[in-house]
């Protein structure tokens, strides 16, 4: 008789170091291989502090940003009390990190992607939006804000560093898994550099959202799934649905 572990789907989760699988570990056998890491951009903290005083909104698009700006969170709290700045967070994890540090989150978009956030923020009539985020962030958020006549100040806060040995290891073992979960376009690129057959993968690729799914399609994967909620919980629900459909 097969054990409970053998009956559960096997999932390779590709995320940066320090990430937790959350509820996914309850429904699947999860292996986490970090194929990228991040490092702060020198001088970014000082630049954010300088621009913060001039902005009426600051938008955090990942949990990594408030972690790297920990020294400024008290100042952000003070500006909030004074009514001088409002805070938006993309996704529940980012919101949790901010609230854990005592920062009130004034807005969380209904859809966790840049273009949707730009449209929703525009309805709140911000004057100047500060965006501390990845050095290679997708430009749709900035473009959407600027097309609505809103000044968007983007500051590269951190850069992605590819962990080639880990990416190579992930590519070698990927085909023994039922699903491989890609959580960013840069992770998709790092993995696929070492994976020989994206046009005929031995696993089902799952992207955390449409931006990552688009990158996977560009890299040659013919079929890519992604959840309606662009979070790891959303990925978990999608895998549950796929598994139920097979039983």
**Three-class HEC string of 44-89:** HHHHHHHHHCCCCEEEECCCHHHHHCHHHHHHHHHHHHCCCCEEEE
How far is 194 from 200, CA to CA, in rounded Å? 14
pLDDT at 247: 60
Residues contacting 10, CB < 8 A, separation 6+? 28, 29, 31, 176, 177, 178, 179
Q: Confirm if 35 and 162 have CB atoms less than 8 A apart.
A: yes
Cα dihedral across residues 169, 172, 174, 176: positive or negative? negative
For position 7, what pLDDT does the model report?
Answer: 79
Instruction: Check: CB of residue 14 under 8 Å from CB of residue 180.
Output: yes
In this prediction, residue 245 carries a pLDDT of 74
**What span, in angstroms and rounded, lies between the C-alpha atoms of 235 and 225?**
9
Hey, what domains does the chain have and what are their CATH numbers?
A: 4-35+163-246 (3.40.50.10090), 40-159 (3.40.50.10090)
Give the whole-angstrom CA distance, residue 245 versus residue 26.
Answer: 18
Per-residue pLDDT of the chain (247 residues; tens, 9 = 90+): 344 456 799 999 998 887 788 899 999 999 999 999 989 999 999 999 999 999 999 999 888 899 999 999 999 999 999 999 999 998 888 899 999 999 999 998 887 777 778 889 899 999 999 999 998 888 888 999 999 999 999 999 999 899 999 999 999 999 999 999 999 999 999 999 999 999 999 999 999 999 899 999 999 999 999 999 888 999 999 999 999 877 6
Would the pTM count as exceeding 0.75? yes
């Amino acid at each position: 008789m097969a054990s409970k572990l053998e009956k559960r789907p096997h999932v390779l989760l590709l995320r940066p170091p320090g990430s937790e699988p959350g509820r996914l570990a309850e429904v699947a056998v999860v292996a986490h291989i970090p194929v990228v890491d991040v490092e702060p951009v020198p001088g970014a903290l000082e630049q954010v502090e300088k621009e913060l005083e001039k902005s009426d909104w600051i938008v955090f698009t990942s949990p990594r940003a408030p972690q790297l700006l920990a020294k400024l969170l008290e100042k952000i709290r003070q500006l909030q009390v004074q009514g001088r700045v409002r805070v938006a967070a993309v996704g529940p994890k980012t919101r949790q990190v901010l609230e854990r540090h005592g920062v009130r989150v004034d807005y969380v978009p209904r859809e966790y992607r840049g273009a949707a956030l730009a449209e929703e923020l525009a309805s709140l009539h911000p004057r100047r939006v500060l965006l501390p985020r990845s050095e290679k962030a997708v430009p749709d958020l900035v473009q959407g804000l600027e097309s609505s006549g809103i000044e968007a100040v983007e500051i590269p806060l951190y850069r992605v560093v590819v962990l080639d040995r880990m990416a190579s290891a992930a590519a070698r073992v990927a085909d023994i898994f039922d699903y491989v979960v890609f959580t960013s376009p840069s992770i998709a690129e790092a993995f696929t550099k070492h994976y020989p057959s994206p046009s005929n993968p031995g696993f089902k690729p799952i992207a955390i959202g449409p931006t990552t799914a688009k990158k996977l399609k560009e890299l040659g994967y013919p079929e890519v799934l992604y959840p309606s909620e662009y979070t790891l919980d959303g990925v978990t629900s999608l895998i549950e649905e796929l598994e139920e459909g097979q039983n």
